[in-house]
Amino acid sequence: MTIKINNGEFLFFCCNDGNLDLLKQEIKRRYSYLHLGYSKGRFLTYKTTKDILLNELEPVFTTRWAKSLKKVSKEQLLSQEINILSLTSFTLHYFSLLDDETQDKEVSGYFDKYNNCNMENEFYYDVVQIKTDEFWIGIHAKDQRCAIFPNSDPKISLPEKSPSRAYLKMAEAHCLFNISITENQKWLELGSAPGGASYFLLENKALVWGNDPAEMSQLCLTNKNFTHIKKPVQHIKPEEIPSDIEWVSVDLNLNPKQSLAEVFRISKDFRFLRGILVTVKIVNLDHVDYIQDNINWARDRGFDHVIATQLPSHKREYLLVLLNKSAPKRLTVSSKKT
């Protein structure tokens, strides 16, 4: 089930803080039939100049894209004038794009109780606060990427003792893409220091081989399930790593081409590989134009399911999820090939 948007109607897009330019660049390059309407903070509206279906779009730098229905004030929202709660075949998602201090507590108090990750309904109403007294209402469909969480955010908090914020990237990918981590499952992490992502995997009882010339946190080093390969990735010989690694995570401060080349060199003989999670850094705006090349490159190497997306904790970067046939797939992940 999808949503039709007629020529002349509007969509809206929400994005991570500081990434508006990346989203605009992506839309300009990939969806030139969309014309910018309104922009505020990390919220944008676009008018389509042809009839489209909402699931034709798979933008990377957006956390939520929806058909835009209307803009309302707080008073209208809380009155019975907008009677969205009476539409029982819809799930409601309320979220605010404002800082915690400026969010409207009365409105969030009212709507938060309706927020849920119900997967039974085909459509979701999005109610988004973008200014103190400005809310937008839109609608998106279940088959869109990460549709079941308000603004695609599972709201995972960073444990105090995590060695780094990279814990969140791994925890969010695990949750949004339903990656099952089982006891003694073998993971390789390229670019593992100081160890936030490894810490998340170890907490989930995985066996982790972490590669990084930099120091790892004692929290990882003292865990018997962790092995540190302390050298640049370029110096690793495939025989230094078990050949039955199931998952590889890549978070290197290298250019994307080099990161991808290294990960494929090392993992090409892994017999039970289910998937690879690659964090791709965006160093300048031109890198936005190469996303499709990276996706195609991965497909040419036999990954039948490739997704490019930004996670809620991402800064100037995105995640490439490369899944083999044996990897579990969640309904929320679109299977459409771009």
Ligand X SMILES: C[S@@+](CC[C@H](N)C(=O)[O-])C[C@H]1O[C@@H](n2cnc3c(N)ncnc32)[C@H](O)[C@@H]1O
Instruction: Give least dist CB 237 to ligand X, A.
Output: 14
CA 301 to chain centre: 22
Q: Of 153-161, 175-183, 195-203, 323-331, which part binds ligand X (CB under 6 A)? A: 195-203
Nearer to ligand X, 26 or 251 (CB): 251
Q: Which of residues 246-265 bind ligand X (CB under 6 A)?
A: 251-254
Among 191, 256, 275, 312, interactor with ligand X by CB under 6 A: 191
How far is Cα 4 from Cα 53, in angstroms, rounded to an integer?
Answer: 5
Among residues 115, 112, 116, 130, which one has the least CA distance to residue 74? Answer: 130
Please check whether residue 51 is in contact with residue 6, taking contact to mean a CB–CB distance below 8 angstroms. Answer: yes
Strand, coil or helix: 14? strand
Q: Where are the alpha helices (DSSP H) in 208-270?
A: 218-221, 256-267
266 binds ligand X (CB under 6 A): no
Please check whether residue 69 is in contact with residue 123, taking contact to mean a CB–CB distance below 8 angstroms. Answer: no
233 binds ligand X (CB under 6 A): yes
164 binds ligand X (CB under 6 A): yes
DSSP 263: H
Nearer to ligand X, 138 or 275 (CB): 275
Among 85, 119, 214, 283, interactor with ligand X by CB under 6 A: 214
- Cα distances from 129 to residues 70, 111, 144, 156, 292, in angstroms, run 12, 11, 21, 21, 32
Binders of ligand X: how many residues, by CB under 6 A? 22
172 binds ligand X (CB under 6 A): no
Please check whether residue 28 is in contact with residue 288, taking contact to mean a CB–CB distance below 8 angstroms. Answer: no
Strand, coil or helix: 333? coil
312 binds ligand X (CB under 6 A): no
Q: Of 67-75, 114-122, 123-131, 245-253, which part binds ligand X (CB under 6 A)? A: 245-253
Among 8, 18, 232, 328, interactor with ligand X by CB under 6 A: 232
- Cα distances from 240 to residues 229, 236, 286, in angstroms, run 9, 7, 36
Nearer to ligand X, 166 or 311 (CB): 166
Instruction: Give least dist CB 61 to ligand X, A.
Output: 19
Instruction: Give least dist CB 266 to ligand X, A.
Output: 11
Beta bridge partners of 94: 127
Please check whether residue 322 is in contact with residue 278, taking contact to mean a CB–CB distance below 8 angstroms. Answer: yes
Instruction: Give least dist CB 249 to ligand X, A.
Output: 7
Nearer to ligand X, 195 or 312 (CB): 195
Give residues in contact with ligand X (CB under 6 A): 163-164, 166, 191-198, 211-214, 232-234, 251-254
